[in-house]
Amino acid sequence: MARALAKEELCDDVIRRKMFACTVCNSTDSRSYASELRDYITNRPFTVLQCHGCGLAFTSPQPEQMGEFYPPQYRRFGRIVSAVLQFLYARRARACVRALRQRGRALEIGCGSGWILRALRRAGWQVVGNERVANTSASFLPKEGIPIFVGGVEALRPSPQFDLIILFQVLEHLKDPMSVLQHCARLLVPGGTLVVAVPNLDSWQAKASGRAWFHLDVPRHLFHFTPSSLERALEQAGLQITSIEFHSFEHDPYGWVQSILNRMRFPNNQLTRMLMGMDGEASGFFSRAAMLAISALLLLPSLGLSIVSWMAGSGAIMQVWARKRDPSSGRGSNA
């Protein structure tokens, strides 16, 4: 009986892998990257499959409705954590301004708290924000003079109107990333720049952590990119990559800390739950105290690991700059 059940489960897995066509290369041949991954919010199990054709991985099954996986506390951190993130996001926005040199019109898809848009506006850019559903940012950003629209990016008329489009830690959350990239290409003016930042499935952190890797984050991360699969996706969307960076003070050192804690068999992503105010008393006082003490000890080693991985081009987060080719000159912008 047990053998029959095992055979049936294997057949179901093969059928599931063969039915999913890769959104980048259309291959239906994939392998299991990690199975029985538990969502740290709902405890529901998911599998990550990886395409043999291009290396893109995807979460299976992909839920029809995502509401239960994004509770009100999701990414709602306390004042200290929010202040640190706001500083680092503003720093990233200033780097964009320095690289692009001249001001223009910018769109951020999945703008969250709007920290990047605020920094761009202060530098003289005209900015527009987008969020998939109505939330806090959708209500308070317009009061600060930052226009925002709710829904899919396809709601915008597909004509060249932006000099810069930013997808910062967003593309991996989208159900159809290729169509979004293609629409972004249509929204960019000739020579316009697209900046995409996503977790790097080929990173040292991902390989060392395996199924415990914090940035797998199933099922919120529906897709998991490698540098080659992201490059292929951007090229298919009609964009030319100009540079790729692997450093992220915002997400890389913390990813090492949380992934190591996961490997040590603490409750899955317990530190993250605590920072979002979702842990409560469920895990017990001594467990939380031990986790916090170990986290403090891991801070400097995690920063060191991050810096070395950045130097080796294997950071946990990759940020890719791409431009829309200018047909009149045959070249793009200076990204």
**Could you tell me the residue ranges of all domains in the chain?**
79-249+318-324, 255-308
What is the reported pLDDT for 135? 66
The tens place of each residue's pLDDT in the chain, 335 residues long, gives 444 434 434 444 443 444 478 999 999 999 999 999 999 999 999 999 999 999 999 999 999 999 899 887 787 788 888 888 888 888 888 888 888 878 899 999 998 888 889 889 988 999 999 988 766 555 567 667 888 888 888 878 778 899 999 999 999 999 999 999 999 999 999 999 999 999 999 999 999 999 999 999 999 999 999 999 999 999 999 999 999 999 999 999 999 999 999 999 899 999 999 888 887 655 677 888 999 999 999 999 999 999 999 999 999 999 999 999 776 655 444 43
200-230 per-residue burial string, b: 16 or more CB within 10 A, e: under 16: bbbbbbbebbeebbbbbbbbbbbbbbbbebb
What is the reported pLDDT for 137? 58
What is the reported pLDDT for 310? 97
Is the separation of the CB atoms in 262 and 269 below 8 Å? yes
Q: Which fold has domain 79-249+318-324?
A: Rossmann fold (3.40.50)
Is the separation of the CB atoms in 56 and 224 below 8 Å? yes
pTM of the model: 0.88
DSSP 173: G
CA distances from 114 to 1, 188, 219 (A): 56, 21, 24
What is the reported pLDDT for 143? 67
What is the reported pLDDT for 334? 41
d(CA 130, CA 150): 6
Token representation of residue 291: 């986790």
What is the reported pLDDT for 72? 79
